[in-house]
Amino acid sequence: MTANGTFQIVLYLVVLIALVKPLGWYMARVYEGKLRTPILRHIETFTYRLAGVSPDSEMNWKRYLSAMLLFNLLGMMILYALARLQLHLPFNPQHFSAVAPDLAFNTATSFATNTNWQAYAGESTLSYLTQMLGLTVQNFLSAATGMALLIAMIRGLVRQETTNLGNFWVDMVRGTLYVLIPLSLIFSLVLVSQGVIQNLAPYKTASLIATVKYEQAKLDDAGQVIKDSHDVPVMEAKVVTEQVIPMGPVASQIAIKQLGTNGGGFFNVNSAHPFENPTPLTNFLEMLAILLIPAALCYTFGMMVRDTKQGWVILFAMLFIYVPLTIGTISIEQSGNPALSKLGISQAAMPNISPGGNMEGKETRFGIVNSAIWATATTATSNGSVNTMLDSFMPLSGLVPLWLMQLGEVVFGGVGSGLSGMLIFIILTVFIAGLMVGRTPEYLGKKIEPYEMKMASFTVLIMPLVVLVMTAVAVVTHVGINSISNPGTHGYSEILYAFSSLTNNNGSAFAGLNANTPFYNIWGGIAILIGRYWYAIPTLAIAGSLARKKAIPSGAGTLPTNTFLFLVLLIGVVIVVGALTFFPALALGPIVEQLTLWNQYGS
Amino acid sequence: MLEVMKQLKTGLVLLLLLSILTGIVYPAVVTGIAQLVFPWHANGSLIWKNDKIIGSELIGQFFSDDKYFWGRPSATTPYPYNAESSSGSNYGPLNPDYLTAVKNRLNQLHQSNPNAGMEVPVDMVTTSASGLDPEISPLAAVYQVSRIAEARKISKDQIMKLVEANIQHRLWGVIGEPRVNILQLNLALDAADRGANQ
């Protein structure tokens, strides 16, 4: 790794960690209802009055869950309707027609669940209204839902002998109003100042200085390719003298897309597009925004359980998994593609004049270092936005984002949902530790009993099952393999990546896979729904069960969970579970590809 | 049943209110402030010449003439740098089509620039992520100097000076990568050439 690369990582982590405490503290105040901000407070009370919510009445876990499911379902339906009806609605200057039903279903499930998988190309499919009132809204609400889920889980740990987990509507409104909107507002304006566009104008046309000449197959009136007597397509010469430059309300959506670990872009190429991410500064701030809330929530957790060390232990466990994988990814990408070195292409990094490395599918302003940090940050969290084409990563560096998702999105993970997933892993860890010493496992004074263990096993096992079964179905059906773009084992990796990403609600892709087919739209939509709710339901059930219990004072047999030893144990459990379940599947994909590469070109 | 209806009503009203807030008020406020404070940036960093838009500073354009600096290869369809359809190649590192494409680009570069005197920089033979990358590395610009000097019949030193003047360095010397904006460099090149001929 280059010296500058090291420096960029260190700077990134230092700024991130410095922001954890203030934001974490703030969010704890918000969710405990101790915040008194004049204007927002008025909007909050006004909202409750209109909706008929009594903020002091609390819900048990089943009502909390049903409110959440209902709210998500309604959101999905509205987003679906917007996409289907966009031609007849305002703010559609390019006159984009209705989104196909399967694609609209996929997009609606994907945005309401914080997955933000993009089977569509934004700039040629969606109207400004669909982007704002559909996607931007769900970017906020799916993030607020994830955070509410976590807060309910924390209350389950903290409270005693009660069935109340809080009020879903209140948690939802507070998260949106006090946390997500203010942060997004500031962030989007900073993005605009750097060149991220924000307007409602129709696309602009530029007259090119140099014309573009190209050949394309000639079509008849029915849109079919005309072929000559030898069955070769007839080509016609075309000259392009203009460039159509897309416009739109981009900055307002990008801000929340990063802060809420959403990741669905305004444009097809997501954050690689110069209008979404124009400069190294926007890239740095967006990377920061991606990890910001998931990291800060660890501190919020610590504050709410009245022991901030508990939160720091979790945060550092996440960092200890994240940082080595990031460094590995940078190193592999920086050493370039041996197949190209043989051709006399300069891939060595030269300070201040060339980034070098594997530059296929990367932007010049980001080079290797910022592309690799981004790739791991967005897959460690369930953000899933891309500033580089992961499909073109070297085999082992492509394995890293894939595996980070397969760990179950608990290393940072989605806002809220990631940390609650990590709490499930903590329950597993104390249980395993309890088995080793022969004591009843407990966490934060709550006994972990068979019911919690059953539910925790459910959440941990369902994800690999769905990923592997769905991948298996896709690789043995024509509709599955017809979408592959790269031959050989890499094509299999594309499918494995797709279902790992969908089920874990990440949303990034090995984007060569043609995902906009009825098979992937519907099959993938199902993976998204199972991935989100099969995990949310048992999580809330555990929270409900824990809240009913009485806390017992810690004794000599209690395993302290705020120590370095526990941190190591937790990392071990997360890695062992993730590695054991997916190693065979990974061996068939990226690992075989890497061995082929070494065999053909040397290392 | 009453309970269900009540929850449904609450859910709908809240969804409506929050949609208005996050889907209309929030983007409208951002648009308003952006248009007031950063109008040029918010509208696409467009470059105007004689009352016509000739491009955006942030969106790359395709150059293939010997007298201009060329940008990164672009994977957009049906032609390179089609800004209506951003796209990467998504070629895997061992895809035979990818390796063939790289070899073809390499041959073209060697043929058009036989006196470069250096290895071809990797960013000149690999497609960008967006297909619209407006920039190349300083090394890739230097690589092209001798070709442009011959095509334009101006001295290499003069072109090197233009390249150096157009290098954007890392932010605070740390963040991002050093780079050269192709459109701006080519506009500067045209301007310098015109000046020399007058």
What are the residue boundaries of the structural domains of chain A, listed by start? 3-198+252-299, 204-245, 311-320+374-387+397-601
pLDDT tens across A151-174, in order?
Answer: 999 999 999 999 999 999 999 999
Give the predicted TM-score (pTM) of the model. Answer: 0.94
Helix, strand, or coil (residue A117): coil
Asked whether A381 and A16 are in contact (CB, 8 A), the reply is no
Instruction: Return the pLDDT at B193.
Output: 80
Query: Which residues in chain A have Cβ-Cβ distances shorter than 8 Å to B93?
Result: 337, 339, 358, 360, 392-395, 593, 597
Q: Is A42 exposed, middle or buried (0-12, 13-18, 19+ CB in 10 A)?
A: exposed
In angstroms, the CA A120 to CA A108 distance is 12
Residue of B nearest to A334 (CA): B122
Instruction: Return the pLDDT at A601.
Output: 87
Query: Which residues in chain A have Cβ-Cβ distances shorter than 8 Å to B60?
Result: 274
Structure tokens, B25: 């008020």
Which residues lie across from A205 on neighbouring strands? A244
Is A52–B179 a contact, with Cβ atoms under 8 angstroms apart?
no
Is A280–B9 a contact, with Cβ atoms under 8 angstroms apart?
no
Helix, strand, or coil (residue B62): coil
Instruction: Return the pLDDT at A255.
Output: 95
Query: Is residue B195 pLDDT above 80, yes or no?
Result: no
The ipTM estimated for the assembled molecules is 0.94
Query: Is residue B168 pLDDT above 90, yes or no?
Result: yes
Instruction: Return the pLDDT at B196.
Output: 65
The one-character DSSP state at A86 is G
Instruction: Return the pLDDT at A341.
Output: 87
Instruction: Return the pLDDT at A603.
Output: 66
Query: Which residues in chain A have Cβ-Cβ distances shorter than 8 Å to B57?
Result: 195
pLDDT band at B198 (very low <50, low <70, confident <90, very high): low
Best B25, B26, B124 residue to mutate vs chain A (most A CBs within 10 Å): B26
Q: Is A264 exposed, middle or buried (0-12, 13-18, 19+ CB in 10 A)?
A: buried
Instruction: Return the pLDDT at A360.
Output: 95
Residue B51: which residues within 8 A CB-CB, separation 6 or more?
none
Cis peptide before A182 (omega within 30 of 0): no
Asked whether B61 and B93 are in contact (CB, 8 A), the reply is no
Instruction: Return the pLDDT at A230.
Output: 81
Order of all β-strands in the sheet with B179-181: B135-136, B179-181, B167-168
Q: Which residues of chain A have pLDDT under 70?
A: 603
In angstroms, the CA A207 to CA A603 distance is 47
Q: How far is CA A230 from CA A215, A218, A220, A236, B108, in A?
A: 19, 15, 17, 17, 30
In angstroms, the CA A217 to CA A222 distance is 14
Is B18–A173 a contact, with Cβ atoms under 8 angstroms apart?
yes
Is B7–A140 a contact, with Cβ atoms under 8 angstroms apart?
no
Query: Which residues in chain B have Cβ-Cβ distances shorter than 8 Å to A375?
Result: none
Q: Mean of the per-residue pLDDT values for chain B?
A: 92
pLDDT tens across B100-111, in order?
Answer: 999 999 999 999
Which residues lie across from B48 on neighbouring strands? B53
Is B121–A346 a contact, with Cβ atoms under 8 angstroms apart?
yes
Helix, strand, or coil (residue A517): coil
